[in-house]
Amino acid sequence: MSRSFGLIIVGDEILSGKRLDKHMPKVIELLAARGLQLAWAEYVGDVPARITAALARAFASGDVVFSTGGIGATPDDHTRQCAAAALGVPLALHPEAEVLIRERMQDTAREQGVPYEPDRPDNVHRLNMGVFPLGAKIIRNPYNKIPGFSVGDVHFVPGFPVMAWPMIESVLDERYAGLFARGRAVEKSVIVFGSMEATLTPLMEAIEREHPGIKVFSLPSVDHAEHGRHIELGVKGDADKVEAAYAQLLQGLHGFDARLGPELVR
């Protein structure tokens, strides 16, 4: 079974440049370690209408989607509300989330050496972090117990990497291990000097046509520190299909007035 994986990154701080996004590189890394690949990613600011639209697309896609950020309980956190709006369901305090949040508040009180006061206004407000779309399931947070949540194959985690990354990893391992393809996906390429993409396109099209399931890629560079102007031309896909496609690629390149450089395997 094949599934596509997507990522939604929520937050004005990313779009304004106040913070650099670290989530996409890490999610790519976590997926790659399991033989998986990120199919798409979307950045969206703290605008409820835009968040709701992005989440509606995610729910309708059938993809496995991770959404980072905006699940807190401050005025600029809208993701929980937008998820409910996209689904057309009400919000409700999740009973497991309430238990975990109360545990966290008690832990904090002990650490500070003060009594736990469950009815104190700030503690009551903190329970809003466990208000999720009706029917959601929690994602446990090993950092501070404040959970994220899942609705179907769309998974919501905080914007803090120290929390988000282990939560994403646990969702992958607990729910999608059957999709893992460790060691199967292979990428082989060669550095090509003295040619143009337009000239090589017929060869690329022929390889994709004759080797179903293989993707051909072309990455041109004009000022590479090591190779200067060149094209990295390669194929990627399941290991049992890549070798034949790559052999055809190399054979086809010999028909062009081009010089071949190092070969790369990933």
Q: Residue 246: which CATH number?
A: 3.30.70.2520
Strand ranges for 183-227 from DSSP E:
185-193, 215-224
- 202 and 141 within one domain: no
Of 86, 106, 110, 101, nearest to 131 by C-alpha is 101
Domain boundary among 179, 197, 224: 179
CATH number at residue 11: 3.40.980.10
| Secondary structure class of 192 (helix, strand, coil) | strand
| Segment 114-127, tens digit of pLDDT | 999 999 999 999 99
Does one domain contain both 16 and 106? yes
Q: Are residues 165 and 65 in the same domain?
A: yes
Count: domains in the chain: 2
Find, among 243, 264, 258, the residue nearest to 200 by Cα: 258
Task: Tell me how crowded residue 175 is: count the other CB atoms within 10 A of its CB.
Answer: 15
- The pLDDT of residue 19 is 94
Q: Please tell me the predicted confidence (pLDDT) of residue 78.
A: 98
Average pLDDT over residues 28-41: 94
Confidence (pLDDT) at 183: 63
Structure tokens at 179: 């999709």
Same domain? 129 vs 208: no
Q: Which is more confident, 204 or 225?
A: 204
Same domain for 159 and 206?
A: no
Q: DSSP letters of 33-51?
A: TTT--EEEEEEE-S-HHHH
Specify the pTM.
0.87
Q: pLDDT tens digits for 205-226?
A: 999 999 998 999 999 999 888 8
Residue 1 clears pLDDT 60, i.e. is over it: no
- Please indicate, yes or no, whether residues 73 and 161 belong to a single structural domain of this protein: yes
Q: Is the pLDDT of residue 185 over 80?
A: no
Same domain, 189 and 57: no
Same domain (yes/no): 90, 162? yes
Q: What is the model's pLDDT at position 238?
A: 83
What domain range is 241 assigned to? 185-265
> Same domain for 79 and 134?
yes
Q: Which of 179, 206, 241 is the last residue of a domain?
A: 179
Is the confidence at residue 16, as pLDDT, over 80? yes
Looking at the structure, tell me whether residues 103 and 214 fall in a common domain.
no
Residues 163 and 248 reside in one and the same domain: no
Look up residue 213 and give its two tokens.
């399931």
Domain boundary among 163, 179, 195: 179
> Per residue in 159-176, pLDDT tens?
999 999 999 999 999 999
Is the per-residue pLDDT at 201 higher than 90? yes
Contact 59, 66 (CB under 8 A): no
- Position 15 scores a pLDDT of 96
Is residue 200 located within the same domain as residue 172?
no
